[in-house]
Amino acid sequence: MKPLRVLQFITPAGFYGAERWVLALANNLNRDQLACDLAVTREGPEQDLTVAELYPESVGEVHYLDMAGRFDFRVVKQLSDVIQKRRIDVIHTHGYKSDILGLLAARRTGIRCVSTPHGFSGNVGLKLGAFIRIGTWMLRYFDRVAPLSEELVADMKRFGVPDTKIAFIRNGVDLTEIDAALNELKAEYQANRADRVVGFIGQMIPRKGIPDLLDVFDQLYREDTNLKLQLLGDGRQRAELEEKAAGQSSAKAIEFLGFRSDRLELLSRFNLFVMTSSLEGIPRCMMEAMAVGIPVVAYDIPGVDKLVTHGETGLLAPHGDKAALANCCRRLLDDSALAARLSANARQLIDEKYSAARMAQEYEHLFADLLGLDLPFSPENAGVS
């Protein structure tokens, strides 16, 4: 039987959760059963196309689609040409722009279409909000929609996606990549926690709540000037956050490191990973921290609560309660035994429920099912829970 041919399509906004998710899926697919190309839009010289640069050649080809500005319907023809040339069976889209353009290309070429929602931004402008609403409205016309969390499943029902089209596939993190990176690090590099680093990795956008993190860190720093805060990532709010940090008493201890290709090395040196988001699916950056063995503290919101059980796999504070969040940070910074126990439990949770290998097998099954094919594996034996 010839391999299934799938085209992943994403309009990269950086190298964050969705982009890393695409790589995690590609790295864990069964290459004997499935060939998987990647298509990305090329929207300007400043765009981060790391996901395309790191995409494994052994999995499939990478296709660059030139887009004039933030949105360009001419991409539909470019996508259609790729689909026909590469004899694609299924297009798999990620994000509102790729959903809109990908669905149109699928209908034009007569192939199956799958969308994986990764979460939805709040506090956006009218124009962007309108495009997001169009994208969510179009989800009902996909052959399958595969949300990453129970909360996103509820969102799909609210958007009018029929139950028969919803296939919940739990998010997963690429443990192969993480363990390989950690094995390459020198033992002293992994173990050196003397700097006492509080860290965050992710987009610098309003829903991540980074101003709260800066406030909490400033409070902690006034009590312990040996602490440092490292923020990895970029986004439209970065300049505003840097200005806020510069006015704090902890300014000299705060580092905005931007996008880093050595994020796993830096992550392995954190003493604590803190997330102050108001809205998440199941956050990949938190899964990575848990897989690396870094204790986590976060606001208790849907999505995060699937990863963090308070007192078992991390510590949680009510959303917006900065005093409670600071207290959680103190507990883990001051109690190494507690931090070690929660970190060990967190890694076990990731191993059992959130591996990309399990996730990839479920997607292979989904793609094959859409085409009426039987593949020699069963999701019941792939760690589904």
pLDDT tens track for 4-37: 999 999 999 888 888 989 999 999 999 888 999 9
Q: Is the pLDDT of residue 78 over 90?
A: yes
138 pLDDT higher than 60? yes
Residue 183 pLDDT: 81
SS3 per residue for 228-263: EEEEECCCCCHHHHHHHHHCCCCHHHEEEEECCCCH
Residue 297 belongs to what H/E stretch?
A: strand 296-300
Report how far residue 232's alpha carbon sits from residue 213's, in angstroms, rounded to the nearest whole number: 13
Note the pTM of the prediction, 2 decimals. Answer: 0.72
Gap between the Cα atoms of 203 and 287, Å rounded: 15
Which CATH architecture describes the domain 4-172+355-381?
A: 3-Layer(aba) Sandwich (3.40)
Residue 70's pLDDT band (boundaries 50, 70, 90)?
A: confident
Q: Which residues contact 362 (CB under 8 A, 6 or more apart)?
A: 169, 379, 382, 384
Q: Is the pLDDT of residue 383 over 60?
A: no
Is the separation of the CB atoms in 81 and 41 below 8 Å? no
Handedness of CA 22, 177, 33, 81 (dihedral sign): positive
**Residue 379 pLDDT:** 43
The single-letter code of the amino acid at 375 is: L
Please name every residue paired with 228 in a beta bridge, in sequence order, or none if there are none.
Answer: 197
Structure tokens at 163: 């139950």
Longest Cα pair distance anywhere in the chain, in angstroms?
Answer: 65
Q: Can you tell me the mean pLDDT for 300-322?
A: 96
Q: Give CA–CA dist 216/272, Å, rounded.
A: 13
Higher pLDDT, 375 or 168: 168
What is the average per-residue pLDDT within 95-121?
92
Local confidence band at 338 (pLDDT 50, 70, 90 cut-offs): very high
Is the model's pLDDT at 315 over the cut of 60?
yes
Q: Where are the domains of the chain?
A: 4-172+355-381, 175-353
Q: Is the pLDDT of residue 120 over 90?
A: no
Provide the b/e sequence for 344-353 (b: ≥16 CB within 10 Å): eebbebbeeb
pLDDT of residue 128: 64
pLDDT given at position 151: 85
Mean pLDDT score of the chain, rounded to an integer?
90
> Between 113 and 13, whose confidence is greater?
113
- Token look-up 């101003």 returns 211
Look-up of token digits 């300007």: 44
Measured CA distances, 291 to 42, 148, 197, 354 (Å): 32, 18, 18, 10
Question: Which CATH code is given to the segment(s) 175-353?
Answer: 3.40.50.2000
Quick one: which of 243, 245, 249 has its CA closest to 230?
A: 245
Predicted confidence (pLDDT) at residue 100 exceeds the cutoff of 90: yes
Does the pLDDT value for residue 284 go beyond 50?
A: yes
CA neighbor of 135 nearest in space, from 94, 91, 99:
99
Q: How confident is the model at residue 372 (pLDDT cuts 50, 70, 90)?
A: very high
- Read off the pLDDT band of 312 (50, 70, 90): very high
**pLDDT at position 380, please?**
42
- pLDDT above 50: residue 384: no
Over 80: is that where the pLDDT of 188 sits? Answer: no
Q: Tokens for 36? A: 């998987």
Closest CA to 214 of 200, 226, 233: 200
Distance CA 11, CA 385 (A): 30
Sorting pLDDT into bands at 50, 70 and 90, what band is 190?
A: very low
CA distance 372 to 361: 16
